[in-house]
Every structure is written in C-alpha cells, then in structure tokens.
Amino acid sequence: MADYAEHDGLSKVDEFNLTISMDRPTFINFLNPNRTFFLNTQWFFQYRKGYQSSMPVNGPWNILGLFVIQSGYFQDRLLPSLTMVFDIMSGSGAALPQVTYRFSDAFSIAVGMNFFIGRSQLVDMPNNAITPASNQQGDAAYRVGVENGISLVRDRDEVYVRARFTF
C-alpha cells in the first residue's frame, strides 16, 4: 500500500474486510397497497493492520454503507428505485434514483440520475515526491490533497436515458 513516509513509497499492510447484507420485503400501504417494497442494506467494514498516518488513505477503519429501496406499480411495468451510498471516513456518498418502464417483456426504458458528494482531504506530502513549489508555502505547506472513497467522482453527476431491447 502507498506510504508517503517510506523511501520507496510502499508499506506492507494486511487488509481485513467484512460484508454484511440484509434485505426485507415490506408493505408500505400508503405508498403502494398492492405490492411490497424491497429494502436492502449492505455494510462494508475494512480494517488495515499496519496502517500508518503517512498513508494517503483513511484508516485504520473504514465503513461504507449502502441502502436500496425499490417497488413495482401497474403489474410491475413501472419500477422506481433509489440507491444511497455513504463512505463514513471520507465523507463521500451518492444518491442514484431510477425509474424504469417496461413496455413489454422485450422492451423497456429507464431514466435516472447519479448525484455524488465528496471532498478533498489534505495529507502530508510524500518524501520523494516531485511537487510544485506552491505546495511548500502557505497554510497547507508540505501537504497534498487526496480524494478517498467516492470523492474521486464527486464532479461526475449525470442524467441518463437507457432503452433496452431483448431478443
């Protein structure tokens, strides 16, 4: 793993990952009396044994949570869904709403949006970095910005329309 305090920029780290997923079909009568809502949550826990503060990633613990809700209307022709993601340590996340309409078994159209949030974080500059002189003065002297978690795509919001024909 990258380590800015090491001469070669690398350190040995053991990563331990745990994933927990729970889902449940639930009736929410005032929103859809004829069909259940599918609720799903997933949690991704990560621990880095050997983590150092000179590494450009968050740690030693990191937690990412995901929540999905979806249902069907008009005999499952209209399928709305919402996915929300949040990375706790980086403060980044996403909201991914989508509505799909199935015209037939073979043809459907989906309309959706992807909204991302995140921030840059300052970490100490690497020992052997080639950096501009502007990084060596001011309030953030000898620090560089990193974008952890979903922050890397925070400026990539999008709207899409997808047509699908199955044959």
Tokens 């073979």 -> residue: 106
DSSP for 55-109 reads SSS--SEEEEEEEEEE--BTTTTEEEEEEEEEETTTTEEEEEEEEEEESSSSEEE
Please give the model's pTM, rounded to 2 decimal places: 0.82
122 and 143 in contact (C-beta within 8 Å)?
yes
pLDDT in single tens digits along all 167 residues of the chain: 777 767 677 778 889 999 999 999 999 989 888 899 999 999 999 998 988 877 778 889 999 999 999 999 998 999 999 999 999 999 999 999 999 999 999 999 999 999 999 988 887 777 666 666 666 667 777 777 788 888 888 889 999 999 999 98
